[in-house]
Amino acid sequence: MLYPKSLESLIENLKKLPGVGQKTAERYALSILGLEMDEVSDLAEAIIELKAKIKNCRKCGNLSEDDLCAICQDELRDSSIICVVANTTDTIAMEKTENYHGTYHVLNGLISPSKGVLPDDLNIKSLKERLNDGVEEVIIATNLTVEGDTTSLYLSKLIAMENPEVKVTRIAHGLPVGGHLDYADDLTIIKALEGRFKI
């Protein structure tokens, strides 16, 4: 014998979570067994509700329960600046700094021909529509990877062609705060040198 069937079935289901293997799934399943019945039904309900309620914001593609996400609905945000990010998690990281007060545009991916992701698969069409709406600057905040660079290049050319009045910028890459030169990788050092400024 190994585990009873319903335990085995939950373990198999939990293994679909990222980075969860057999041992971790066993641990989670046994801990779920140890929860109170109402906690367990809360968990199951939260899983179903999430999938049923969450959709992408019609305007910026961010996750939202409403037609427009909380940021797009917020009239205090500066809608003349759009920060383009790859995923919702990136907007959360930016929001946590409480330093950015513009709006976002979530691409839900990056251009990657090798993975078969082309510009048409991303949330780019609605970005083009937004540009005619008094936007002054688009900040591209994609990662410094091949995909991130490709996407950044594609977007900057597209905007330069169709909306040349819009300024396109990209976030700076360089040494992180508290980072040491001797631990940094080559590309980070090259980017830090490229981005040097007069003091």
Distance CA 179, CA 199 (A): 20
- Per CB under 8 A, the list member of 21, 70, 80, 118 interacting with a second copy is 70
Span near a second copy by CB under 8 A; candidates 30-38, 126-134, 146-154, 165-173: 30-38
Residue 58 engages a second copy in binding (rule: CB under 8 A)? no
Tokens of 51: 């999938």
Exposure pattern of 181-197 as b/e (b: 16+ CB <10 Å)?
eeebeeebeebbeeeee
Number of residues that bind a second copy (CB under 8 A): 53
The distance from CA 115 to its chain's CA centroid, rounded to whole angstroms, is 18
Among positions 76-115, residues that touch a second copy (CB under 8 A) are 88-89, 92, 95-96
Q: How far is CA 96 from CA 73, 91, 92, in A?
A: 18, 9, 6
d(Cα 162, Cα 60) in Å, to the nearest integer?
19
* Type of residue at 144: L
Q: How far is the CB of 34 from a second copy (least distance, A)?
A: 9
Shortest Å distance, C-beta 58 to a second copy: 14
- Give me the least distance between CB of 111 and a second copy, in Å please: 19
Residue found by looking up tokens 């979530």 in the block: 106
- Residue 35, interface with a second copy (CB under 8 A)? yes
51 versus 198: smaller Cβ distance to a second copy: 51
Of the candidates 59, 61, 71, 152, which one interacts with a second copy according to CB under 8 A? 71
Q: Which of 21, 33, 144, 187 binds a second copy (CB under 8 A)?
A: 33
In sequence order, the 6+-apart residues with CB closer than 8 A to the CB of 15 are: 21, 22, 25
Query: Contact 72/126 with Cβ under 8 angstroms?
Result: no
Is residue 54 near a second copy by the rule CB under 8 A? yes
The residues binding a second copy (CB under 8 A) are 1-7, 9-10, 12-14, 16-19, 26-33, 35, 37, 39-51, 53-54, 63-65, 69-71, 74, 88-89, 92, 95-96
